[in-house]
Amino acid sequence: MHVTLVSLLPTEQATQAQRPALTPELLAASGARYSRNNEGLQAILTKIDPENMDRSVDTIFRLIDYGHQSIADMVPIAIFIDNISIWLAYYVWSLCPTAGGQESSTRYIKLDPESLIAADKLGIPSDRADEWQAQMDEAFAAYGQALNHWERIGDAHPTLTAIPDDLLNDSSEKAAKAADRMKRNYRFDRARYYLPVSAATNMMMVMSARGWSRLCQILNSHPLPEARQLGEALRQEMALSSPRLLKHAGYREGIAAGIQEEFNRLSRKAQQQGLPATLKADAKDCAEAPDVTLDIHPPSDWADGQFAADLASHDNRYGWIGSQLQRTSVRCFWQAIALAELRDMNRHRTGNKYCPMLPVGFYAALEQLPSHATPTSQQDAQALRQLTGIGRRLSAAAFELQVCGDPTAVYTTLLGTQFAFERVLSADKFIYEAELRTGLGAHFRYAKHYKDALALWYSRYPETRGLILEGNAEPE
């Protein structure tokens, strides 16, 4: 694990224009001073001692100890995080929905067994480490096999890749590269479900010191050693940019108790429900729990036809949406979504998300197999069906570990392991998400999840069909 603070420099244009450049805490102090007087920025800047920038923070504003979280909101921090597990990256995003940033994508990058994080780093009990390693080796082998099978299927049935004919028929080097990239994405998108969430990934985030402080509190209070290691590494990097904040970025007894209670609740639920039928050895191909429910609550003054009027000027997914939709609450609950798709759906900034880490199924894109296949493709399809037994078995093993109260249970899951997922948000944000996740370049699977939700929306508000800019996940 490598965690690195990256500071900002003024641009050449800003320097030439003689615009001020401040340290993160000086920026917060200068902004905070506005709450106590109206002297303006130039007067504040005269109080800065260029030879002692740190002491100038207290000269400008003596309450910069972050007793007010609004002050911490004015301290921008960018941190790059390398070699953490896919699961921990997912968890971090779930805690920081308003952060900007990126993560290495399994849609475009091939992972190898060497990317697996060591069992002791993840807190896997020593008496289970060998078994866990064998399970992860099996998962990576399945991933490699799935890549080969999907590649052959795509080559034998090029229409399945949805690559435009004009691109396939274009002999230029540019077109060939674009077609190769889309073919590669085709197999990555379908094979990635066998990747362990304990494989390493990289991410970076930009957010305020307030957000980093809260993240550190949760990570440092977490039972998993990987989370605590990241929390401490983040604290060390924050000390370089916002040292006064560190006392607010440590272990919190109440948070630790809350995390433990949530985990205990899941364990009790697992014990009471028992292993889902979708994870049993004799489960049928593509066996899934019922998909989605949608609860919609318009405002009290809502009038029939108002939603269509609210979308009349909506010409792109970032476009105008009227106030009735902005004031409408939506609760969308998917009973089974693979973690591969949850990684993206979890990244949305608005509303609340809930995803209990209790496996409910395993998904492996089998509905994407060709209905009329060549003999060779039929063999590939049969091999892919057989591979799903590995995914179900490992997901079931994670479920049983949850029953036993093992906090490392999640590290046995794969990207195809399915979990329940709930979103609570306003209708305008729901529409934005649906348009984004069904649009150009969208993954076929989360496009289906949002199309399922939109079908329920249209059943109540058919007049909005065509006004919501629903796409068909065309390849990009």
What is the predicted pLDDT for the residue at 105? Answer: 92
What is the predicted pLDDT for the residue at 67? Answer: 54
Across the chain, what does the average pLDDT equal?
Answer: 92
Q: Give the mean pLDDT of 378-407.
A: 96
Q: What share of the chain is helix, strand, coil (3-state, %, to 5)?
A: 55, 15, 35
Closest CA to 434 of 404, 465, 460: 465
Which three-class secondary structure state does DSSP give residue 175? helix
Q: Would residue 101 be called left, alpha or beta, if left means φ above 0 and alpha means ψ between -120 and 50 degrees?
A: left
Is pLDDT at 64 greater than 70 in this prediction?
Answer: no
What is the predicted pLDDT for the residue at 62? Answer: 58
- Amino acid identity, residue 79? I
On whether the CB atoms of residues 271 and 401 are closer than 8 A, the answer is no
- In the block, tokens 């029939």 appear at 304
What is the predicted pLDDT for the residue at 287? Answer: 47
What is the predicted pLDDT for the residue at 49? Answer: 87
Pairing of strands 292-297, 329-338: antiparallel
Gap between the Cα atoms of 101 and 349, Å rounded: 12
Is pLDDT at 413 greater than 60 in this prediction?
Answer: yes
Q: Which residues pair with 101 in a beta bridge?
A: 205
pLDDT grade, residue 288 (50/70/90)?
low
Helices (H) and strands (E) in the chain, counts: 19, 9
Gap between the Cα atoms of 125 and 224, Å rounded: 12
- In the block, tokens 């994508």 appear at 105
Which residue would you say has higher pLDDT here, 40 or 287?
Answer: 40
Most distant pair of Cα atoms in the chain: their distance: 80
Which three-class secondary structure state does DSSP give residue 211? helix
- Amino acid identity, residue 102? Q
Gap between the Cα atoms of 349 and 331, Å rounded: 15
- Which run of H or of E encompasses 331? strand 329-338
Closest CA to 140 of 108, 109, 113, 106: 113
pTM of the model: 0.93
Q: What is the CATH number of domain 2-106+200-251?
A: 3.30.1360.170
Compute the chain's Rg from CA coordinates. 25
Q: Tell me: domain 283-362+416-464, CATH 1.10.260.40, correct?
A: no
Tokens read off for 342: 């949850």
Which residue would you say has higher pLDDT here, 127 or 376?
Answer: 127
